[in-house]
Amino acid sequence: MNFIGNIMYDSIYHATPILLCVLGGIFAYKANVLNIALEGMMLTGAFTSLLISYFTGSIVLGYLGAIIICILVGILFSIMTVTYKGNVIVVGLAINMLVPAIAGFVLQFMKSPNITLQWKNIADFKIMIPLIHDIPIIGKIVSGHTPITYAAFVGIFLIWVLMYKTKFGIYVRVVGENEDAARNLGLNTNKYRYLAIMLGAFCCSLAGINLALERMALFTNNMTAGRGFIAIAAIYCGQGDPVSSALYAIVFGVARALAVNMGLYAGPAAALFDVIPYVVMGIVLTMVSVLKYRNNKLRGIIK
């Protein structure tokens, strides 16, 4: 029972950064901008939150600084892709490569392989929900997570409302589906693209803060390890719908939790279990694609 409880707790724990990236990427996906810079933005959040907390000694400044810098990266991405019409994939890749390079540069300059906050006890970040925590099994699973973890799960609902129940969401979807129609309506299409990308950057910064600051108070380079790409896979699987994309994100979180917990008993082969999330992602993506195109008789490549 303890083993299963651990897996369920870890599922929530590991799903959070992926979930936040998914929520961030959905709007850009709907606005027809493929944001593969999610990975780089998440790493920016992780890096800057730790760096700022390290130098200022304040966790709150770390949170705020990381969010602001991530949004700046989002604005950079938007300027390059929306205003100057650069190739989205190339710009995304450039950001994905630039961020770890800058982080590596700074780490090398500080002559340290990582940034840690020794004065911070990470247990302080965990919220024990008063009543629920005392319920035998469920309490241990649901309670004791960090603030951003809870925010992420509330975020599914918020993003759903934002996408389907507000003007903003409808406009973003119109811009993505039919840009000419949106222009004829008098919408400033670039504005909605900018906002969609910046919202994504905000969510990614939270994912990064969760990953580095809240969980471990530690930053090592490339600690995001492809979570941003897994998030893109989840968005593809859920076709940009907040609820189903979020469900796929949780599936990938469960896969990682299984991998980590089973790896504990595997001894030297533990490294092989780390492969599970990536393989699960490939299989799920293929299955969704097969189902989607099952009755499609068109020839050639379908975009």
Partner 1 sequence: MKRIAKKRNFGPQLVNTILPVLLAFVIGGIIISIIGENPFEVFKIMLGKSLFTAKGFSNTLHYASPLLLTGLAIAVTFKANIFNMGVEGQLLLGGFFAGIAGASLQIGSPLLHKIICMLIGMICGVLFALIPAILKAYYHVDEMVVTLTLNYAMIKVLEYLSSGPFREDGSGYVCTSMIRETAMFSRIGNSRITFFFVIALVVLLLMAFVMKRTKLGYEITAIGKNPEFSEASGMRVRRKIIMLMCLSGALAGLAGAGQMMSETFKYTLTFSGTTGLGWDGMLIALLGRHNPGGILLAAIFYSALKTGADNINMYTTVPKEIVGVLQGLIILFLAIRFFNEKYGFMEKIKAQKNSKEVVE
In angstroms, rounded to a whole number, what is the distance separating the alpha carbons of residues 36 and 106?
24
CB of 93 to partner 1, least distance (A): 6
Exposed (0-12), middle (13-18) or buried (19+): which is 226, by Cβ within 10 Å?
middle
Report the residue from 232, 254, 257, 258 that binds partner 1 according to the rule CB under 8 A: 232
CB atoms within 10 A of CB 129: 14
**Cβ nearer to partner 1, comparing 50 with 162:** 50
Q: Is 236 in the site for partner 1 (CB under 8 A)?
A: yes
Q: What x/- string results for residues 11 through 30 when contact with partner 1 is judged by CB under 8 A?
A: --------------------
In angstroms, rounded to a whole number, what is the distance separating the alpha carbons of residues 8 and 12?
7
Q: Find the part of the chain contacting partner 1 (CB under 8 A) among 62-70, 128-136, 148-156, 225-233.
A: 225-233
**Cβ nearer to partner 1, comparing 144 with 200:** 200
In angstroms, rounded to a whole number, what is the distance separating the alpha carbons of residues 96 and 16?
20
Residue/partner pairs of 180-183 with CB below 8 Å, 24 or more apart? none
Element (H, E) at 264: none
Report the residue from 89, 135, 154, 185 that binds partner 1 according to the rule CB under 8 A: 89
**Cβ nearer to partner 1, comparing 131 with 301:** 301
**Cβ nearer to partner 1, comparing 52 with 148:** 52
Count the residues of the shown chain that bind partner 1, applying the rule CB under 8 A. 50
Q: Which residues in 106-135 contact partner 1 (CB under 8 A)?
A: 108-109
Q: What is the DSSP letter of 219?
A: E
CB of 55 to partner 1, least distance (A): 15
Q: Is 51 in the site for partner 1 (CB under 8 A)?
A: no
In angstroms, rounded to a whole number, what is the distance separating the alpha carbons of residues 17 and 234?
12
Q: Is 158 in the site for partner 1 (CB under 8 A)?
A: no
Q: Is 286 in the site for partner 1 (CB under 8 A)?
A: yes
In angstroms, rounded to a whole number, what is the distance separating the alpha carbons of residues 112 and 104?
10
Q: Is 297 in the site for partner 1 (CB under 8 A)?
A: no
Q: Is 249 in the site for partner 1 (CB under 8 A)?
A: no
Residue/partner pairs of 107-112 with CB below 8 Å, 24 or more apart? 107/221
**Cβ nearer to partner 1, comparing 25 with 155:** 25
In angstroms, rounded to a whole number, what is the distance separating the alpha carbons of residues 197 and 203?
10
Q: Is 90 in the site for partner 1 (CB under 8 A)?
A: yes
